[in-house]
Structure 1
Amino acid sequence: MPKLKREDWYHLGQKLNWTFRYVTTEEVFPEEMLGTRAVPFDAWEQWDEPYKATYREYVETQRQKDTEAYGVKSALSKAKIVEKLSDGWRSILKAHYGAIALGEYAASVGEGHMARFGADSAWRNMATLGMLDEMRHGQIQLYFPHEFVRQDVQFDWAHKAYLTNDWGSIAARALFDDMFAAASALETAIQTTFTFETGFTNLQFLGMAADAMDVGDFGFSSLLSSIQTDESRHAQIGAPTLEILLKYDPQKAQHMVDKMFWRAWRIFALLTGIAMDYYMPVDHRRMSFKEFMEEWIVTQFIQLIEDVGLKKPWYWDQFIYELDHAQHALHLGVYFWRPTVWWNPVAGMKPEDREWLNQKYPDWERVWGRHWDVIADNYRQGNIAKTLPETLPIVCAIDQLPICEPNAKTGKIEPRIVTYKGKKYHFCSDVCKWIFEQEPDRYAGQKTIVDRFLQGIIQPATLEGALNYMGLSETERGTDPEAGQWAQAYAVAR
């Protein structure tokens, strides 16, 4: 076979389905693990991946990628580039590694579900390579930040974050458990590889790789680029799966994309939105988060889902509205509750920062600037305690994030409340409320950080007790790296 062209034999290795003699197809592929019975099993034989790869090619390519990425890291290790970069950029690194590294390991579980329960052999083959990808992504993103731990203990959260009950870790686990850890093969294919990876991971890996190159962090840029090329390949699992499902159960397909598009948007507004609009040094910002979203999501991803026969999500107006607000609301919340995160949130409120924000978001000053004016006044007056929290915020029972984004229709922050089996659940939006109401038993058992506080799980029932419960020692808690000195740029109250 090595002497043959791949196209001459690949189909023989790709299609290896067989007829079961001692068990039924339903026993081999239970509905709970496959994800549907609406599609006739024979129909899955039409599954065909657009990205062809053999195991031999896969190994050769991955070895080359590792050689390049680890080579760049080794060459730059003595230069101590990260120590020379801005406080905001170091916060981007800490937030990224803590939120993503072990999440990649978890993603290998979802790929493993497809490698066993995907209904066609070609699907299973692609998922096997995808599972190896995700293991690699977890390993490399634990290795890269390890050398920084001796200078800054917050980098240890690359390994620690998912093993704690920090509110950010709870939010990430809630998303990834829903997306692939507790999902069927079908749900993983559409929710993870199509909705999440084809759309949103481009924001983190392509956008941040370009930003890393701009600020001079060539090691991080090389790392992200190496990961994204893997994502681009196994993300191709989603489209052929979706095309087959749409022929037999279009309503299910639309529901899965609508649900996970919203959930992915929420977490990336927090992780990538804050990084692009606030932590990135202003003179290195290529695009605003909104502009990046408009290019990669509003234009390209929506074109993709419409091409396969899906509609825009029903909440599209709220999503478009939030492009101007979500990341700003979340940044304000993260900064105020900064002791509860494992990085040091910069305010990003110097005069040049505000000028840039007002250029990119014409309503920013009117909606968000006035809140920062109060914080700046408190710093100048020496009222540091007023810039810090005394308790925890209300969080959404679906996305596990603070309820802080305004509603498109009213412009107000309005929690939605649902009572289910005698318990009240709070939601940040009509969309999260809708997600819960579609499958209430799936989500009713999730405990938010506030639930744990009110139910006596967190002891003592104080902010200090909550910080200890989250696993944050005094040296790990987030602080303003400028200690509020940015506020002195405003000589008088605005």
Structure 2
Amino acid sequence: MALMKREEWEGLVRDVDWTLSYADDDAVFPEWQSGTGKIPRGAWSAWEESYKISYPEYVSVQAEKEAAAFAVKAALQRSTIFSSLDEGWKSCAKLHFGAVSLAEYTAFMAEARMARFGLAGPWRNMAVLGALDEIRHCQLSLFFAHEFVSKDPQYDWALKAFHTNDWAIVSARSLFDAMMVAGNVVDTAIQLPLVFETGFTNLQFVGLASDALASGDINFANMISSVQTDEARHAQQGGPTLELLMKHDPVRAQWIVDKMFWLSARVFAVLTGPAMDYYTPLDHRKQSYKEFMEEWIIGQFIRTLQDHGLKKPWYWDEFIEGLDIWHHSLHLGVWFWRQTVWWKPQAGVSKAERNWLNTKYPKWEDIYGPIWDQIIANVNCGNMQATRPDTVPWLCNACHLPLCTYTSSPDGKYRVRDFPLTHNNYTYHFCSKVCRQIWWEDRDMLHVRTIGERLLAGEIQPSDLSGVLQYMGLTPEVMGDDAYGYKWATDYRELLGPESSQPRPNSVGGGEGIPSEALSIPINAKFGDDFVMHVVVVNTSDTMAEVAQRVAYHSVGKRVRSQDRDMVVYYEGRAVADNESVSQVGIGPFQQIFVDYASDSRKGR
């Protein structure tokens, strides 16, 4: 056989299988793992990958790639490239290392499960090589990041991040666990290789490698390129699996693709959107995040849908609208809660950068300009406390990202909304109708509590922001801060007037007091045109005037301009009298309220 040409024997050995004689097929391939569902057992013999490779060929190719990757790394170890890299770009690398390194190991577990429970011999063989790929990717990411730990402890989070309860990791981990570990292998083959790798990471890695080269980070570009070529090969497991599922159970196929594309896009918006539109130095940006998504991700996804006879997801218009919104809101949230992440967020709103954003995103100035103007004013007048949070944002029970998604209203305004759902006497909160629908359909599998829920349940002590940071594993030397030390804000100093040189106190008082434990309840609250909803603790005896003060304390003078006007509380779409108490109005724990200035209040904000 060793003397035969590969094409003479490969067709025979690639799909070697056998009929079990001393064990039941159902015991070896249980339904809850194999997930064949409506696909007949015999139909799996038609499974065929488009690109075939033998194990000797695989080893030869991988050895060459390993040698090339480590040769470049060794050559650069003696250089001074790291010290010359832009801080914004370093944040891109730290974010990637922390969010992806151990996700690669989770992908190994997914590939290993497909190698064990896949119902076709060729699929199992392909998955074995995929498992080896993912181990390699994990090792590469950890090894390349480790070199910089002595220079910057934030790089240590390449290994540490997934062992913490940082909110960003909780979000990523909930996605990857659902995608790679929780489901059967048929679902996994569609969710991971097809939707996530073919639809997102393969193309994103190509762009990331290009951006790394443009930023001068040859080492990172070299590593990413080496990983991407593996992904492109083993990602093909999804296509043949989807073909069989579409033939026998198209409804299931459509649902798997729809839900995983949405959840992947949500996490992509926080992992990739800010990196492309805010962290990458302006001179090195080749296209915006929206342009990248439209040209590469959407085009690829639509072709996949058409090739397999799938329909566009029911939420398609909302997803397209989100390309103008999601990552800007999430970036603003990451920057304001920068102490809660392991990288240094670059604000990315200098005058030149702001002009670029307005060119790429025509709605940006109307939605985000006033919020950044208030932050800039606080920075330039030395009121740094007003640029940091005193509470935590309310997080979505499906994607675990902050409730900060602007959506269009009938009057043309964009507003942040909450989409609650009460189930078994418990109110869950969601950033969108789509997340709410996904959670409802898969509610028996989605049990990860948000950081806010853990805080309110007493798991986090002390029950304040310092306790949250400790719970997340963040120490002072690792906590994020502005990448450029706020120097970008000096662009705007001349616009603020003479009073800007003096610190200004927060314009709203009375929010500091915490009500007695016996009478306090947590609520979900948002003020005016602020971009995010907060966890706010109120007393059941508080009047609505006092509740308004407590809510405003976390927004007014921080991200919303202070105004000399009365405030109004809205509950269940109606304005509530100032002298009514929380208990009289009937506001309970986890309920949602809106607060706004009286003459600018709108029903249902």
Q: TM-score range by the shorter chain?
A: over 0.9
Partner of 2:465: 463
Partner of 1:237: 237
Partner of 1:104: 104
Question: Do 2:193 and 2:235's aligned partners in 1 also have CA atoms closer than 8 Å?
Answer: yes
Paired letter, 2:444: D
Single out whichever of 249-258 and 473-482 deviates more from structure 2: 473-482
Question: Do 1:343 and 1:477's aligned partners in 2 also have CA atoms closer than 8 Å?
Answer: yes
Partner of 1:148: 148
Query: Is 2:421 the counterpart of 1:418?
Result: yes
The CA deviation at 1:203 is: 4.3
Equivalence map 1:56-455=2 (5 Å)? 56-409=56-409, 411-443=414-446, 445-455=447-457
Equivalence map 1:23-38=2 (5 Å)? 23-38=23-38
The CA deviation at 1:408 is: 4.3
Calculate the TM-score normalised by the size of structure 1.
0.98
The CA deviation at 1:380 is: 1.1
Paired letter, 1:186: V
Question: Do 1:99 and 1:161's aligned partners in 2 also have CA atoms closer than 8 Å?
Answer: yes
1:412-435, Cα deviation, whole Å (9 max, x unpaired): 211111112222111111111011
The CA deviation at 1:382 is: 1.2
Paired letter, 2:162: Y
Question: Do 1:317 and 1:408's aligned partners in 2 also have CA atoms closer than 8 Å?
Answer: no
Partner of 1:16: 16
SS in 1 for 2:415: coil
Q: CA RMSD in A?
A: 1.1
The CA distance in 2 between the partners of 1:204 and 1:137, in whole Å, is 16
Paired letter, 1:28: V
SS in 2 for 1:278: helix
The CA distance in 2 between the partners of 1:267 and 1:227, in whole Å, is 20
The CA deviation at 1:8 is: 1.2
Question: Do 2:212 and 2:220's aligned partners in 1 also have CA atoms closer than 8 Å?
Answer: yes
The CA distance in 2 between the partners of 1:238 and 1:171, in whole Å, is 24
The CA distance in 2 between the partners of 1:203 and 1:488, in whole Å, is 37
The CA distance in 1 between the partners of 2:114 and 2:31, in whole Å, is 13
Single out whichever of 329-338 and 181-190 deviates more from structure 2: 181-190
The CA distance in 2 between the partners of 1:252 and 1:99, in whole Å, is 29
Paired letter, 1:464: S
The CA distance in 2 between the partners of 1:107 and 1:423, in whole Å, is 33
* Structure with higher RCO (Cα < 8 A, 6+ apart): 1
The CA deviation at 1:300 is: 2.1
Gaps of 5+ in 2: 498-605
The CA distance in 2 between the partners of 1:120 and 1:285, in whole Å, is 44
Question: Do 1:395 and 1:450's aligned partners in 2 also have CA atoms closer than 8 Å?
Answer: yes
The CA deviation at 1:407 is: 2.0
Deviant stretches of 4+, over 3 Å: none
The CA deviation at 1:5 is: 2.1
1:256-299, Cα deviation, whole Å (9 max, x unpaired): 00010001101111111100000000000001000100011221
Question: Do 2:32 and 2:184's aligned partners in 1 also have CA atoms closer than 8 Å?
Answer: yes
Question: Do 1:322 and 1:408's aligned partners in 2 also have CA atoms closer than 8 Å?
Answer: no
The CA deviation at 1:366 is: 1.2
Task: Give the structure with higher Rg (CA).
Answer: 2
The CA distance in 2 between the partners of 1:456 and 1:253, in whole Å, is 40
Gaps of 5+ in 1: none
1:145-184, Cα deviation, whole Å (9 max, x unpaired): 1111101100000000000111011111101100011121
Partner of 2:500: none
The CA distance in 2 between the partners of 1:48 and 1:408, in whole Å, is 45
The CA deviation at 1:488 is: 1.3
Single out whichever of 208-217 and 405-414 deviates more from structure 2: 405-414
The CA deviation at 1:409 is: 5.0
Amino-acid identity (%)? 50
The CA distance in 2 between the partners of 1:417 and 1:394, in whole Å, is 12
Single out whichever of 201-210 and 245-254 deviates more from structure 2: 201-210
Paired letter, 2:107: A
SS in 1 for 2:422: strand
SS in 2 for 1:473: coil
Partner of 2:521: none
Question: Do 2:65 and 2:226's aligned partners in 1 also have CA atoms closer than 8 Å?
Answer: yes
The CA distance in 2 between the partners of 1:280 and 1:481, in whole Å, is 12
SS in 2 for 1:441: coil
SS in 2 for 1:78: coil
The CA distance in 2 between the partners of 1:202 and 1:293, in whole Å, is 13
Q: How many residues align?
A: 493
Question: Do 1:373 and 1:493's aligned partners in 2 also have CA atoms closer than 8 Å?
Answer: no
Paired letter, 2:189: A
1:54-113, Cα deviation, whole Å (9 max, x unpaired): 110111111111111111111111113122111100101110000000010011111011
The CA distance in 1 between the partners of 2:51 and 2:222, in whole Å, is 23
Report the structure, 1 or 2, having the larger helix content.
Answer: 1
1:94-144, Cα deviation, whole Å (9 max, x unpaired): 100000000100111110110000000000000000001000000000000
1:434-470, Cα deviation, whole Å (9 max, x unpaired): 1111121111x21110011000000000100100010
The CA deviation at 1:204 is: 3.1
2:488 to 486, 489, 492: 486
Partner of 2:531: none
The CA distance in 2 between the partners of 1:94 and 1:412, in whole Å, is 32
The CA distance in 2 between the partners of 1:421 and 1:116, in whole Å, is 38
Single out whichever of 400-409 and 278-287 deviates more from structure 2: 400-409
The CA distance in 2 between the partners of 1:416 and 1:366, in whole Å, is 24
The CA distance in 2 between the partners of 1:373 and 1:161, in whole Å, is 33
The CA distance in 2 between the partners of 1:149 and 1:36, in whole Å, is 45
Partner of 1:472: 474
SS in 1 for 2:428: strand
Question: Do 1:166 and 1:341's aligned partners in 2 also have CA atoms closer than 8 Å?
Answer: yes
Report the structure, 1 or 2, having the larger strand content.
Answer: 2
Single out whichever of 180-189 and 276-285 deviates more from structure 2: 180-189
The CA deviation at 1:35 is: 1.4
1:287-328, Cα deviation, whole Å (9 max, x unpaired): 100010001122122112211111111100000001111110
The CA distance in 1 between the partners of 2:218 and 2:4, in whole Å, is 40
Single out whichever of 209-218 and 22-31 deviates more from structure 2: 22-31
SS in 2 for 1:440: coil
The CA distance in 2 between the partners of 1:408 and 1:376, in whole Å, is 26
Question: Do 2:380 and 2:490's aligned partners in 1 also have CA atoms closer than 8 Å?
Answer: yes
1:307-353, Cα deviation, whole Å (9 max, x unpaired): 11111111000000011111101100000000000001111111110
Question: Do 2:203 and 2:297's aligned partners in 1 also have CA atoms closer than 8 Å?
Answer: no
The CA distance in 1 between the partners of 2:85 and 2:486, in whole Å, is 19
